[in-house]
């Protein structure tokens, strides 16, 4: 390759990069520099609260117990 060919390739690549930069900036817009407010959560403490007796009682169904369903014989 000649020096002029290499210079032309570099020139075309540079122009392509500049064009693609401005096209992408126009499509996606600028970087957002604003601030956002978020809610803070309450501090978790180590106290244990007794569970609700309506849900957790001795007659409740235990979903962890394995149940075997047999078909008709």
- State the average pLDDT over residues 2-8: 91
pLDDT digits (tens, 9 = 90+) for 21-45: 999 988 988 777 788 899 998 888 8
User: b/e per residue, 1-33, with b = 16+ CB within 10 A?
Assistant: eeeeeeeeeeeeeeeeeeeeeeeeeeeeeeeee
Mean of per-residue pLDDT scores for the chain: 85
The pTM of this model reads 0.41
Confidence at residue 1, expressed as pLDDT on a 0 to 100 scale: 74
Q: Which of 1-5, 28-32, 61-65 has the highest mean pLDDT?
A: 1-5
């Amino acid at each position: 390759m000649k020096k002029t060919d290499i210079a032309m390739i570099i020139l075309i690549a540079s122009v392509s990069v500049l064009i693609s930069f401005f096209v992408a900036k126009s499509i996606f817009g600028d970087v957002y520099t604003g601030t956002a407010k978020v809610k803070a959560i309450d501090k978790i403490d180590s106290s244990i609260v007794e569970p609700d007796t309506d849900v957790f009682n001795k007659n409740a169904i235990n979903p962890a117990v394995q149940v075997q369903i047999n078909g008709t014989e």
